[in-house]
Every structure is written in C-alpha cells, then in structure tokens.
Amino acid sequence: MTEQIYDAIVVGSGVTGGLAAKELTERGLSVLMIERGRDQKHGDYPTEHVPVSDFKYRLLGDRRNGASSEAGGYNEASARYFAPGTDHPFTVAEGTRFSWYRPATLGGKSLTWGRQSYRMAPLNFEENATDEHGVDWPLRYGDLAPWYDHVERIAGISGQAEGNPLSPDGIFQPPMPMNAYEREFKERVGKAFPDRTVSIARTANLTRELGDRQPCHYCGPCERGCSAGAYFSTQASTLPAAQATGRLTVMTDSLVSRVTTDKEGKRATGVEIIDTKTRQKKAARARMVFLCASTLESVRLLMLSANEPHSGGLGNRHDVLGRYIMDHQFSDAVMTMLPANGIANHGGYRPCALFMPRYVNTGGRKEAYLRGFQLNAVVVPTNWSRALSFPGMGIGADLKKQLKSTGPWMLLLVAQCETLPRWDNRVTLDPVVKDPWGLPVLHMNVTWGDNDKLMREQAAMSLADMLAASGYGGTMRLPLDSIPGGVIHEMGGAVMGNDPKTSVLDKHNRLHDIPNLFVTDGASMPSSSQANPSLTFMALTARAAAFAADALKAGTL
Amino acid sequence: MSVMLSQMRRREILAALGAAGLAGAFWPGRGLSVGQGNGDSLTRPEQAQVAAMAEGIIPATDTPGAIGAGVPAFIAMMYRDWLLPAEQVAFRRGLAECQAEARAKYGKPFQACAARDQFALLTLWDKAASAAPPAGPKPPFAMFKALTIVGYYTSRTGQEQELGATMDAGLDDPKGPATFVNLVRL
C-alpha cells in the first residue's frame, strides 16, 4: 500500500477541529481528522427527549460506579459524552486544585458545550499591551472581525444587536424571547444604569433553519445531543460539510501521541497514533498539521513531541510552552426571590439565559482591579424541588397542592470574570505519572492571582448593588466554588505573539519555529477576556485555515 | 451558563438531599470504590411501612399518590443501589424508630394505623425534621421525605399526570409565552 500524504492532519474533532476540517477541505485540501474518542453519529443520541422518569436514578446519577463529575452539562443523561477521569489522569501541584473535563466521542465538547457565543471586544485585544500583563496579541479586533462574521454564519448564532462596544454585534439570527420577569429586569436595570445593557444571551442555538439544521424546539437539555441540529456541533454542522467535499478522512479511537518533524525540526511531517482499541501504533503523514485537541491536550502534545532539535517540546526554545494558563472565574451568585403572583406556568425550555456586556473599567472609571467581567442573569421559577429546600411545606394533600402551583421565581446573577495571563500559571509533563497509554500526564500548577481574587469579590458586590439600585430586595449571596478549569474555558499554554522569544505561535497560529504546524484552539489565546471563548477559537481557526490553504497553494507554507 | 444552571439545579437537589441526611449526596462516588454495594435490601415489612409512609406524604387525590406512582419501589431501589452504607444504616434505624413510635401510641405497626393516626404521626415527624437546625444532623425522616418527593415528582405519573410536563412540549409561541423559562427540567 502506498503511504498517503494528506494535505493536512487535524488533531481533534471538537468546535475547532471540525471547523478546521471543514475550512481546509472546502478549500480543496485533503484532510485526515483524528479523534481520540469513539465514533458518534449525528442523530444517534439515545437519551434525547427521554423523560426523567425513564432514568434509573432520575438524573441524580449513579453514585456507586465512580462516574461522578461536576462538569457543566454532565448528568445521568449525558454521561456517555464525557470520558471517565480514570482514563485521563493528571496531577496537581501541592496546595493547588484543578478540574479538567474531557469528552469521550467524535465531536468532542461541541456536543455538550454551553453554546454561549460572544465576540471579544476591541479593548480585549489591547489590554495585554496597555496594562502589561501577558503577551501582546499579534492581532487586533479588526483582523478577526471578518472571521467572526464567517463563523457566525456557519454556526448560526441567535442574539440581539445592542451596539455595545464591549460586546460587538455579530451576524445574528433573531433573538429568543424574554419572559415577563426578564423584561422587567431589563427595564429596571436600564432605568437605574443607562449604560448597562441587559440582553438575551447570544447562543449557538438556531431560531431559523440553517441548511439542514432545524430551529430550536425548546425541549431543554441540549447536552444530550440534538438530532434536529438546532445547536452548533461538529456532527450537526462542520462534519457533514467537510464530508460533502469528498476530501475528508475521519479516524476515531485514535490517540495522537506525538507530532513528527523532519531531522532539523523545521517542518512537521505528520503524527504518530495509538489505536486505543488495539493499542497498535500507526503513523500518518501530511503537508501540515493543525492541533485542535483542546487547550491542554494541544499543549501536552507539543510537550510529548520533544525531539532532538526541540528538546523541551516543540516550540519551547524559550520556556513559554505551558505558561499563561487561564480559565474564567464565576463570582458568587447573587439572587433574590420573585413572587409567583399572576404568572402562569411555563411553555418551553429556552436553552439560554440573559447577559450583560462588561461595564467596569470602561471610559474614565477605574476599579481597584484590572480588566472586567460579563454578567449572566437567569430568571426561573422554582419547581417541585422547592419542597426539599424550603422547610415547613408540610405533607399530604396540601403539600401536593402547593407543589402543583407555580412557585416563586428566582432572579440570579453570576459574573464571568476575566483572569490575567500569568507566567507562573503553567502546566508541565509529570515526571512520574503516566496515562493508560504510557504517556506522561500533565501536572497542573494553576492558581488565581490577586487581581483575579479581587475582581471576583468585587464583582459579587457590584451585582448585589445593582439589584438593590434596581429595586430588588431580599438579596442573598450563594457561594460558588472557583476551581481553575472548573468553568471549562481553559485557555493559553501556547500563546500567540509577534516575538518568538515570548510566544509560541505567530499571528497565523503556527509555531514560530515550525511554519506548517498550527495550534488553533484555546491554547493560542494570549488573554481570556470576559467573553465565552469558543467563538473566538473558531474565528482564529477559520482565519488560520484560510492562510494555510492559500500558503500551501502558493508554495509558501 | 445555562448548562451551569441546569447543573446548579441538579446540585441544589443533591445538596438538599445531603441536608436531609444523605451526607454524600453532594459528592457522588466519594469514598466509595467502583461497583461497591453491600447487596442490602429492605425487608417486606419495611417495604410495607415505606409504602404507607410515602402515601401519607403524597396521598392519592384527583391524581395518583405515591403508591400509584411507584414510589415505594423507587425508594427500595435507592436504598439498595444508591444510598451509601452509613446512610442505609440511618435510614433503616429511622424506619424502626417510626415503627416503634406507632406501636407505642396506637399499638399497631404504622401501616396498620388508621389514616388520621398516620397523618398525625407523619405531621409530628415532619415538624421535628423541619425544626432541626440546618447545620446539624437531620432526623432520618427528612431523608425519607426527600426520597418520597423526588420519587413522586420524577415518576412518569408525577411528571405527566401531576405536573403536566412532557419531554417534547417546548413551544416557541409567537405571541411570546409570558413565562418562557430557561432551565432544563429534572
């Protein structure tokens, strides 16, 4: 058999891997997409629309099989899409904590993601330079704006244009509607704070058809998979597009164990692969390699690929690889109860909440901390489970009657806080512990810095003040734990920059040292901003793929 | 974010179960090795008592009650497969204490007591459980009531007949439902 040389190998099949495969194949390239997890066909979502009564533990999960997780989106119905932690161990530095959630199937986390899709603001691309933290972005908002347009058209983002420069408008499908209490919240905040915008979340859930994908039918638990394709996933969107070109090869159950280079270490030549079912080793060759394996796995893969010319890992001549690891922090939740008076029961399960663009450290006002946060606001009725948390509801027919009627509502605010890129927040290969494939695991040494902690604390106070000033009483603060990795917005580790001495990737997301090796997932982010990051990962991926395809054709890659 | 909130509601329920005496509810799996279970099941008399107590908490009205919704079997399953060993001990002890009180007051096991006597006992136990300080240990009855409520409202009967919920009833009413909500059900 003649060994095939692909135009490109894409490692990973999630939000960025699937998109890279689509963009590269549609530009005429032959692509091999390699996924560690098992195959997962679109539409084969066995728990979709299954009522709670049909789950053995009624969605409380099996406490005795060890498959426990506090990951967003993880529950008894979606557990099949999450990899057991025992398969993918990692270690943490003494005195630190880290949460790391890994998917189990083709499509990666695109099947279970939160779907919140916000552009970073022009300011976000400038602050590393202006306040001198981390590495200056090698591009600015204007460089990425057309690519945001491009990926928003592909993903299908519903949302409301607001003209707020701290959360730039995009190409939106019509927004999902607000409920009565949400509209009231928007009005009240607008009166008290004219500069603060309450808007419906911008979410990769359709409100209009997009190709074969149907608009959201408001059934609720997106994380079980959506055979209507109403939210953006690899299976619903990018995979069928890439397959339609006839130029995509998909390899599942295949773990990429290293990226190979030529003898001089100047060009990537392909990858080495472990078949996770047979444990047999394979190899594949390509003219370029895209790492889209998720922030931390892409960083780990660069480290695992160390060779003679790159003894500290690919792209690590200056000890930058693995540094500047970031996540977002959620503040404590601030909430109040709203009476059920006159509000009927609900008519659907909207897959998103409200948001408010960053409103701190803008214009002339300066806070005691740098950067800022975006606000999430949720207004929901309590359900029958209030009988568990509200004491004194009694028993018998009277209890039943109370629980049948609509209970009080909750108005709940949580700030999503930017964390600063810090040199000391790093991951390395553990010198001792290995995964089930014999590969060194990651050792996490990531903590929150002083600025991160101060912002998180002041954000909760700001939210409480906002509720009070908007006429809401009875405010309560609910403590939320904040573990690095817990928001599942890992970023950094192979950051982009203009200077090869201080960054791993250039402005086209390729290694300064190896021009045909690209990293386009969250590892490339020099700062985290306050925005949910997947849309930015996608924009960077599409931009890099276009550059790579053009360079390949021009013979300049 | 919405994912986080659906998670919060799950955690809220797990936390409430934890507060009701299921100490490990908030951290599934912690301290328990894979596949661990002691094979312990409720006895037939215990199951009869469970059924009577559950039906007293959620009685049949114009809709079925706990027995009609299969709650006794659910509780027996949760006892066997979900409770941690220490919780099993507390649960069983709670059943025995309730039974002893029923015999002392009315000379019969709980399930043989008159409906009004059952109601009086359950009300007594519920008030004691509600009055227990949130931080301290809860009477086992709190655990029992929580399992009854979860078992009833997550059953097909509870979901469909009592709450009128169906899994595919989501509507995007162009008139705009006044109370369009954004949380997955549990």
Per-residue pLDDT at A2: 56
Ranges assigned E (strand) in A327-401 = 329-330, 333-338, 354-356, 373-381
* Window 36-65 of B, Cβ < 8 Å to A: 36-37, 56-59, 61, 63
Q: Name the more confident of B164 and A51.
A: A51
Establish if B26 belongs to a structural domain: no
Nearest CA in chain A to B18: A388
Instruction: Pick A388's closest partner by Cβ from B149, B151, B166.
Output: B149
| Cβ separation A349–B77 shorter than 8 A | no
Half-sphere exposure of residue A395: CA atoms within 13 angstroms, side-chain side: 28
Per-residue pLDDT at A38: 98
**Residues 6 or more apart in contact with residue B41 via CB below 8 angstroms:** B76, B79, B80
A249-269 per-position pLDDT tens digit: 999 999 999 999 999 999 999
Interface confidence, given as ipTM, is 0.86
Residue type, B177: P
Q: Name the more confident of A383 and A550.
A: A550
Instruction: Pick B185's closest partner by Cβ from A56, A220, A389.
Output: A220
pLDDT category of residue B11 using cuts at 50, 70 and 90? low
Nearest CA in chain A to B1: A114
Contacts of B123 in chain A (CB under 8 A): 394-396
Establish if B115 belongs to a structural domain: yes
The residue count for chain B? 186
Closest C-alpha among A306, A284, A324, A295 to residue A514: A306
Beta strand A172-173 pairing with A157-158: parallel
* Cross-strand partners of A336: A411
A423 contacts A502 by C-beta, under 8 angstroms: no
Q: What angle do CA A534, A535, A540 make, to 5 degrees?
A: 95
Establish if B170 belongs to a structural domain: no
Distance from CA of B124 to the nearest CA of A (A): 10
Residue A415 confidence (pLDDT) above 90: yes
Per-residue pLDDT at B181: 38
pLDDT category of residue A339 using cuts at 50, 70 and 90? confident
A302-329 per-position pLDDT tens digit: 999 999 999 999 999 999 999 999 999 9
Contacts of B17 in chain A (CB under 8 A): 60, 388
Q: Residue B63: which domain range?
A: 36-162
Establish if B177 belongs to a structural domain: no
A388-410 per-position pLDDT tens digit: 877 789 999 999 999 888 778 88
* Cross-strand partners of A289: A9, A517
Distance from CA of B177 to the nearest CA of A (A): 6
Q: What average pLDDT is seen over chain A?
A: 93
- Please give the share of chain A, as a percent, with pLDDT higher than 90: 81
- The mean pLDDT of A193-203, rounded to a whole number, is 96
Pinpoint the alpha helices (H) of A227-332: 239-244, 295-304
- The mean pLDDT of A501-525, rounded to a whole number, is 98
| Cβ separation B7–A70 shorter than 8 A | yes
Contacts of B31 in chain A (CB under 8 A): none
**What ranges do the domains of chain A cover?**
1-159+227-327+421-446+485-557, 162-200+329-417+448-483
Give the total number of structural domains in chain B: 1
* Cross-strand partners of A444: A92, A427
Residue A56 confidence (pLDDT) above 70: yes
Establish if B13 belongs to a structural domain: no
Closest C-alpha among A249, A252, A269 to residue A261: A269
The DSSP H or E segment spanning B106 is helix B85-106
Distance from CA of A17 to the nearest CA of B (A): 22
| Cβ separation A346–B177 shorter than 8 A | yes
Residue B32 confidence (pLDDT) above 90: no
Pinpoint the alpha helices (H) of A234-358: 239-244, 295-304
Tell the CATH superfamily of the A1-159+227-327+421-446+485-557 domain: FAD/NAD(P)-binding domain (3.50.50.60)
Q: What global pTM score does this model have?
A: 0.92
Per-residue pLDDT at B7: 46
CA-based torsion, B41, B47, B50, B51: positive or negative: positive
* Cα distances (Å, whole numbers) of residue A259 to A18, A325, A443, A513: 19, 22, 20, 14
* Cα distances (Å, whole numbers) of residue A511 to A288, A314, A494, A515, A538: 12, 8, 9, 6, 18
Lowest-confidence range among A29-38, A153-162, A223-232, B152-161? B152-161
B68 contacts A400 by C-beta, under 8 angstroms: no
| Cβ atoms within 10 Å of B27's Cβ, excluding its own | 14
CA A462, CA A275: separation in Å to the nearest integer? 51
Residue type, A35: E
Between helix B85-106 and helix B44-57 the angle, nearest 10°, is 80
| Cβ separation B182–A344 shorter than 8 A | no
Residue A495 confidence (pLDDT) above 60: yes
* Cα distances (Å, whole numbers) of residue A464 to A354, A370, A411, B182: 17, 20, 12, 22
DSSP 8-state code for residue A203 = B
| Cβ separation A352–B59 shorter than 8 A | no
* Window 104-163 of B, Cβ < 8 Å to A: 119, 122-123, 126, 130, 145-146, 149-151, 153-156, 158-159, 162-163
| Cβ separation A349–B9 shorter than 8 A | no
Q: What average pLDDT is seen over chain B?
A: 77
Contacts of A72 in chain B (CB under 8 A): 3-4, 7
Nearest CA in chain B to A378: B182
- The mean pLDDT of B110-120, rounded to a whole number, is 97
Pinpoint the alpha helices (H) of A420-523: 450-469
Pinpoint the alpha helices (H) of A273-393: 295-304, 386-389
Per-residue pLDDT at B86: 86
